[in-house]
A and B are shown apart, each in its own frame.
Chain A
Amino acid sequence: MGAKKLRTIWRRWRAETIVYCLLLSLAVAVLLTAVVHAGFGWSLWVAIPLFAGCFGVGLLIFPLWRMGVADVTSYLDRRLPELEESCGLLLRPVEELGVLERLQVERVEGRLLVAVVPRPMGGRLLWALGLLAMALCGSFFISGIQAHGASGVAAAPVIREVAAPGIRSVQVRITPPAYTGRALRSQDNFSLDAEDGAQISWEIATTRAVDTVAFIFNDTAVRLLRREEGLRWRFSSTALHSGFYQVKVGGQLSALYRFEVVKDEAPKVRVVRPKPYTVIDYGEPTRVPLQVELADDYGIVASSVFATVSSGKGEAVKFKEQELHWNQGFDGGRHYALSRVLDLAAIGLKPGDELYFYCKARDNRGQESRSEMYILSLADTAQLMSLEGMTLPMDIKPELFRSERQIIIETEQLLKAKDTLAAQAFKDKSNDLGIDQKLLRLRYGKFLGEEAQEGERGGNDTTTFGAFGDAAKILDVYSDKHDNAEDATFFEPGVKAQLKATLSEMWSAELRLRTFKPREALPYCYKALRLLKDLQQQSRAYVAKTGVKLTPLNPARRLTGELGAIQAPVQRLGRDDGMSKEDILRMGLAVLEGMRVGVRPGEGDRAILGMVERRLASEAAARPGKFLAGYEGMRRLKDILAAETMKGEAGPGAMDILAAERAIVALLPVAEAWPVAQGAAADGGLERLYFGYIK
């Protein structure tokens, strides 16, 4: 009984020491994490290893958890005198105890059960808890400093607006429209940025009773506020156009406040793959990967690809439109990176057809935008094989083209007959085709002026001509006729380049045929054939049939018409005002610069400043974020000028001048070069005199 109680006490104390260590290490870890997170920008996850480390160190420093039951008994013996230092007896087996000891055990056991057991760890636990609380406060403080510092760096300096006269408080509630997905917000200053279509309501408390409170928008539109009870006024409006406004309390006007409407942009669609125009040659995969990136400022709700298949030629062309859907749905995210495979066969594209497609996206406000038109073209091998072109009289090189076509036909036959042929026969046939391809390539090479291969020159074979003594023939065999005008290549560089490309395709085909891979050779054969066809088309001249017979010109009668009645045209143009808007702004800048160093503007300068101010007013109405500060500066300058308190550099208007100058410079393009006459030297006619002498 007593032993059991002792063990219970032991277990509790041990648990308490561990909890104590846990609390201490938690406090240290929290504090350290806050420091490294705020100071060095480490991740918050660092807390876990920190905590583990601190806990380990804590267990080492406070090894109370290693205590045994014996330690508990000796402690109790010391702390509780009524146990008469006999606690240890309780743990020993009853059989081992003597009579006296048993009596003592019974005495002590009774006392132990009723004794108030001390809690040695209680105070320490409380202390550790306090420490943890302090560490938490400290870490909040540290992270608070950090957050404050970060916002100080990142956020633009908030310009406190000047309190409007006669207004005690203002509450602006902006209810963004549904498409933004943003919550209602309110602010206590007048300058505001609102989403397009947001509901804005002002609630104003004036300092004294006035008759009217009004908003003046863009210096023109006056809107009266509705009076609530007491000194409270209310007004609501919808954000549609940017501009600026003023508050008029009684007769007092406030400063200008920004009213910026943030427009909703249409979604942006960018097709990453494929390229705008892609030709898919024979042998290339007909499954084309399509990758599209979508982005919008609030959210995208729908997107699909519109594909149009155009098939047929000439008047028989047919279009078939279909909408292809993406594999995923759209739930109003801002960015999507989409991809799918365009299976041209499944779409119904046949060789010779073209696929036009574009991607369309719609945002949650219903604004749509689409990408450029992309074209996928499937090369038509059947067209290449047709002999239609050959029958026309304009065909210049029929046999050469037929050879490439023949090689393709025979290669395909060979592939069909592969199963029925012996392996050796297959290889022989493939090799023969390779040789044919080589010969063809060499023949075309001649067009490019390439030399014939070694040993092809003949030369050794003069005997077979059967015309001994025919010097011309022998000479013909041995001479290299570079100077023959008919052989000289007079192709354009473009044709030559294409011919070269053809030759390289032929070479690739020959390589495959010679290595007994006719199936791999086929794409190259087709490509070569297509290039040759193009060449053929290019070199064909088109002459329209004309049956008109013109009367021959009589040079004697040319340009002898009567023009007397025709008035010579005279144009008269001119600028209306003599000064362009740009000139006015540039001169206004100079006037402001003069004011900055204390030069008082004259009447003409004031007129220029007035024109500049009007220009800034219209710009501020359109783009208040950029030009309102400048416009306000101009207005204040006007007041200062009217009050004649201009003081120069350190004077009251210095900041306003800078603001106005910035706005004007933002309006101006870079000054372009200006033709101007150079001034003559004021030399009292010396130069003229000199010129007279040297003449």
Chain B
Amino acid sequence: MSIWDDIVLGLCLALLGFLLWQEWRRADRARLLWRVIATAVAVGALACLGLPIGYWRERGIVNDERVLLTEGYDRDSVGEFLRAHPGMDMDTVGVDGGRLHVFGYGLRKEEWMRMRPAAIDFHPGVLHGVVDVDWRRKLKRGDRFVVQGRWAGGTGTVLLMGMGEVIDSAKMTAAGDFSLGAVPAQVGRAVYRLAVVEGKDTVAREELPVEVEAGAPLKILLLAASPDFENSFLMKWLSGNGHAVASRTIVSRGKAEEAFVNREAAGLGVLTPGLLGGFDVVVADGAVLPVRESVQSKALWREIEQRGMGLLLRVDSAGLDSMVRVMRGRAGKILARDSLGHVVVGAFVAGRGKVVFTALNTSYSRLLSGEREAYASYWSGLLREAARRGEAREEWSFSPELPRVGEEVEVQLQTAAGFPQGDIGGTAVYLAEDAGLPFDWRGRYWPEKAGWQMVYRPMGDTAWWYVWPVGAWKGVERMRRMEETRNYVAAGVSADGGRANRDTTAGGRANRDTRERVTHERVTHDRVSREWVEFSRVWFWGLFLLGVAFLWVERKLGGMNG
């Protein structure tokens, strides 16, 4: 009872006393009882106009429902919800049992696992900006650095920046995917930036670490039945890039020209296992390959099939047909077709090695016409396909993709050496061996500082990975929280047989009324909540008028009588 109510009551009582006294001492004492009643009714109604008069009504919802506000909730929709469900508590986190109405982006999976609410009603918040992003952390030299991401909504520009310049940008006006890219200039590690600009303000600025591997030079053997431009240009290009090339070109009967670039000279006349073992790829034309079933041929194919050397065959149109036939019979793939759809470049597996064949024998003309990049990408593609696989390297991988300081990171190491310890920034990380895959080791780590982190196994290879500072990639983090909350809700639904959890997304909002009704019927009440219902003031106003009107008319009647 508030002070206002006291004042109203006090004033009304005083008024009632005064009026009753007036009625009592009136000379004409006719209809005294009626007058007293009318006065009491009028003053009572007047008091009720000023006082909240109502009653408690029972409501059919359980009272152990709670509202949980997480980051990104919409104030209006929470208000609307509370108006529809009065008497709901808003402050409790960590209730056990009971239904939780979650507004905003939700919580992480671990947090849900800790809270374990019995049932969740999820009202997701609205995301905007960059909510998902991915790129290859390790590139080979000359590869394009492509950043792909998802834009949840709103208007803005996404910029890819590096080396102090804006490299690429995308203007986003609606939800959708974006893809930015450039060829990195550096060889080694660099941190590019992804900036989101809305209007004139930079609203987000995230780091994109990328490592460009120089890659070891290839060891290539070029065999040719006759001198031609294709081979000489190829050798020039390879040697300019630092690859080790040995070339043997037949120039006359029994005479061959040999050339050695970036490597020691060696006798190339006879293909022996010892010679072939030193090369990653043999580039040859069909006419120069040793006769089938000869010793040299056997040595060549043994090297390919047993030890994984690559063979890059330059064939003419006649040889192409037989190659395509061989390819169809094996695990092969088509690398290029001509304008008529015929296969001109293809590759197939030969034992542990690969055979790549090409009928494009004038690619040097592209170099001459200034299309150096096209030439490079063509030959790089072929040689990458064919080249002998390099030494097995230890492979470190980290989950989550965007680790931040203080968050748990799962470390995975694939290595042939069985030594259960890694070192990250001077901290030992002990690794557990996978039960099924003996080369797979896993461990946990909580990064302490942001930036590049060196990780290595004692006596093993060194690798680098990147840790973001706290608060980086907000949009992605929110998206992940929403996903995990949704997953938790979905898991709860499947576990409880569709009993408890609900996800009121925009689509589901249309039939919310029916759904709520259904849910309320289904709920077994532990406690029944009550609701305060106020009477409309019109009724009191009517009573007041009635009382006052009676008193007025009564006086007129009395006057007429008297």
A residues near B, CB below 8 A?
559, 563, 566, 568-575, 578-580, 583, 586-587, 589-591, 593-594, 596-599, 658-659, 661-662, 664-665, 668, 670-686, 691
Residue of B nearest to A567 (CB): B255
B contact residues around A661 at 8 Å (CB): 163-164
Does A572 lie within 8 Å of B260, measured CB to CB? yes
A580 with B240: CB separation less than 8 A: yes
Mark contacts of B254-280 with chain A using CB atoms, 8 A cut-off: 1 yes-contact digit, 0 otherwise: 111111111101000000000000001
* Centre residue among A591, A672, A675, A678 by max chain B CB count within 10 A: A675
Residues of A with C-beta under 8 A to B243: 675
Q: Which residue of A lies closest to B192 (CB)?
A: A593
| A677 and B218 contacting across the interface, CB-CB below 8 Å | yes
Pick the most buried of B163, B213, B252, B377: most chain A CB atoms within 10 A of its CB: B163
**CB <8 Å contact, A569 and B258:** yes
**A571-B257, A587-B187, A676-B384 are known contacts. Are A598 and B451 too (CB-CB below 8 A)?**
yes
- Scoring B residues 378 to 392 as 1 if CB is less than 8 Å from chain A, else 0, what string do you get? 011111100111111
B241 to chain A: closest residue by CB: A674
Contact status A589-B186, CB under 8 Å: yes
Residue A675 contacts which of B218, B389, B391, B438 (CB distance < 8 angstroms)? B218
Q: How far is the CA of A198 from the CA of B395 in the complex (A)?
A: 63
- Contact assessment for B262 and A574 in the assembled complex, using a CB-CB cutoff below 8 Å: yes
CB within 8 Å of A: which B436-453 residues: 437-439, 451-452
Given A573-B261, A574-B261, A673-B143, do A680 and B384 touch, yes or no (CB 8 Å)?
no
Q: Are B439 and A682 in contact (CB under 8 A)?
A: yes
Inter-chain contact B190/A671, CB cutoff 8 Å? no
**B78 contacts partner chain A, Cβ-Cβ < 8 Å:** no
Query: Cα distance A508–B197 when bound, in Å?
Result: 66
Question: Which residues of chain B are within 8 angstroms of A680 by Cβ–Cβ distance?
Answer: 389-393
Task: Give min CB distance, A247 to chain B, whole Å.
Answer: 28
- Distance in angstroms from B124 CB to nearest chain A CB is 36
Chain A residue numbers with a CB within 8 Å of B239 are 573-575
Measured between alpha carbons, how far is A17 from B390 in the docked complex, in Å? 101
| B373 adjacent to chain A (CB < 8 Å) | yes
With a cutoff of 8 Å between Cβ atoms, the chain A residues found around residue B381 in the complex are 673
**Residue B184 at the chain A interface, CB threshold 8 Å:** yes
Q: How far is the CA of A679 from the CA of B183 in the complex (A)?
A: 22
- Is A572 a contact partner of B265 (Cβ separation < 8 A)? yes
Report the Cα distance A591→B190, complex, angstroms.
Answer: 9
Contacts of A579 in B (CB 8 A): 242
Q: Knowing A570-B258, A575-B262, A672-B373 touch, does A678 contact B451 (C-beta < 8 A)?
A: no
A232–chain B nearest beta-carbon distance, Å: 41
What mask results when residues 455 to 487 of chain B are scored 1 for a CB within 8 Å of chain A, else 0? 000000000000000000000000000000000
B503 contacts the other chain (Cβ, under 8 Å)?
no
Q: Which 6 A-B pairs have the closest CB atoms?
A: A590-B188, A676-B215, A675-B383, A589-B186, A673-B380, A672-B376
Q: How far is the CB of B512 from chain A (nearest CB, A)?
A: 49
CB contacts (< 8 Å) of A672 on chain B: these are: 142, 372-373, 376-377, 380
CB<8 Å pairs between A and B, sample of 24:
A566-B255, A570-B258, A572-B259, A572-B265, A583-B214, A583-B242, A587-B188, A589-B163, A590-B187, A594-B452, A596-B191, A672-B372, A672-B380, A674-B140, A674-B141, A676-B216, A676-B384, A677-B215, A677-B388, A680-B393, A682-B439, A683-B416, A683-B437, A684-B416
Q: Which residues of A contact B387 (CB under 8 A)?
A: 675-678
A671 touches B141 (CB 8 A): yes
Binding site for A on B (CB under 8 A): 140-143, 163-165, 183-191, 212-216, 218, 238-243, 251-263, 265, 280, 351-352, 372-373, 376-377, 379-384, 387-395, 414-416, 437-439, 451-452
Given contacts A573-B260, A673-B373, is CB(A678)–CB(B389) below 8 Å?
yes
Using A591-B188, A593-B186, A670-B183 as known contacts, say yes or no to A678 and B260 having CB atoms under 8 A apart.
no
Question: Which residue among A598, A679, A682 has the maximum number of chain B CB atoms within 10 Å of its CB?
Answer: A682
Q: How far is the CB of B504 from chain A (nearest CB, A)?
A: 44
Using Cβ atoms and an 8 Å threshold, which residues of chain B touch A664?
Answer: 163, 185
Q: Which residue of the partner chain B has the closest CB to A590?
A: B188
Q: Establish whether residues B259 and A589, one from each chain, have CB atoms under 8 Å apart when the complex forms.
A: no
Q: Are A586 and B439 in contact (CB under 8 A)?
A: no
In the complex, which residue of chain B has the Cβ closest to the Cβ of A678?
B389
Q: Which residues of B contact A594 (CB under 8 A)?
A: 188-189, 452
Which of B164, B188, B392 makes the CB contact (< 8 A) with A682? B392
B164 touches A658 (CB 8 A): yes
Q: Which residues of A contact B183 (CB under 8 A)?
A: 670-671
A559 to B380, CA, bound (A): 39
What residues on B are CB-neighbors of A575 within 8 Å? 239-240, 242, 262
- Measured CB to CB, the nearest residue on chain A to B209 is A597
Q: Determine whether the beta carbon of A686 is less than 8 Å from that of B377.
A: no
Minimum CB distance partner of B257 in chain A: A569
Tell whether A573 pairs with B259 under 8 Å between CB atoms, given A593-B186, A676-B218, A681-B392. yes
Determine the chain B residues whose CB is within 8 A of the CB of A566 once the complex forms: 252, 255
Q: Which residues in B have their C-beta under 8 angstroms from that of A671?
A: 141-142, 183-185
Whether the Cβ atoms of A568 and B414 lie closer than 8 Å is no
A586-B185, A679-B390 are known contacts; what are 6 more A-B pairs with Cβ within 8 Å? A587-B186, A589-B187, A590-B190, A590-B212, A675-B241, A676-B215
Give the Cβ gap from B187 to chain A, nearest Cβ, in Å: 4
Q: Would A679 and B392 count as touching, CB distance under 8 A?
A: yes
Most buried by B among A580, A683, A686: A683
Q: Please, how many angstroms separate the alpha-carbon atoms of A672 and B238 in the complex?
A: 12
The smallest C-beta distance from A662 to any residue of chain B, in angstroms, reads 5
Question: Interface centre among A591, A658, A674, by most B CB within 10 Å?
Answer: A674
How many Å lie between the Cα of A82 and that of B258 in the bound state?
132
Q: Determine the distance from Cα of A589 to Cα of B162 in the docked complex, in whole angstroms.
A: 11
Partner of B257, one of A568, A590, A681: A568
- Given contacts A679-B389, A682-B395, whether A665 and B185 have CB atoms under 8 Å apart is yes
Smallest distance from the beta carbon of B221 to chain A beta carbons, Å? 14
User: Are B142 and A677 interface neighbours, CB within 8 A?
Assistant: no
CB-defined contacts of A684 to chain B, threshold 8 Å: 415-416, 438-439
Which residue of chain A is the closest to B451 with respect to CB atoms? Answer: A597
Measured in the bound complex, the distance between the Cα atoms of B260 and A572 in whole Å is 5
Q: How far is the CB of A194 from chain B (nearest CB, A)?
A: 29
- A579→B415 CA distance, assembly (Å): 31
Shortest Cβ gap from A651 to chain B (Å): 14
Tell me, in angstroms, the Cα distance from A132 to B372 when the chains sit together: 70
Output the nearest chain A residue to B308 by Cβ-Cβ distance. A680
A691 B352 Cβ-Cβ under 8 A: yes
Query: Known contacts being A570-B265, A575-B262, A589-B190, is A662 close to B142, with CB within 8 Å?
Result: no
**Min CB gap A243→B, angstroms:** 24
CA distance A559 to B239 in the complex (A): 34
Q: Which residues of A contact B388 (CB under 8 A)?
A: 677
In the complex, how many angstroms separate the beta carbon of B374 from the nearest chain A beta carbon?
A: 9
The residue of chain B having its C-beta at the shortest distance from the C-beta of A676 within the complex is B215
For A599, the chain B residues whose CB sits under 8 A away are: 452
Point out the residues of chain A lying under 8 angstroms from B395, CB to CB: 681-682
Distance in angstroms from A311 CB to nearest chain B CB is 39
The answer to whether A683 and B414 touch (CB under 8 A), given A661-B164, A674-B241, is: yes
Cβ contacts under 8 Å, B259 to chain A:
570-573
Point out the residues of chain A lying under 8 angstroms from B384, CB to CB.
675-678
Known: A680-B390, A686-B439. A583 touches B187 (CB 8 A): yes
A650 to chain B, nearest CB (A): 13
Contacts of B437 in A (CB 8 A): 683, 686
A590 to B215, CA, bound (A): 15
Contact A563 B215 (CB under 8 A): no
- Indicate if the CB atoms of B377 and A673 lie closer than 8 Å: yes
Residues of B within 8 A of A597 (CB): 191, 451-452
Q: Is the CB of A673 within 8 A of B142?
A: yes
| Residues of A contacting B372 in the complex (Cβ-Cβ under 8 angstroms) | 672
Output the least CB separation between A649 and chain B (Å). 9
Q: How far apart sit A596 and B164, CA to CA, in the bound complex (Å)? A: 11
Q: How far is the CA of A637 from the CA of B351 in the complex (A)?
A: 54
Contact, CB under 8 Å: B165 / A682: no
> Which residues of B lie under 8 Å from residue A596 when comparing CB positions?
191
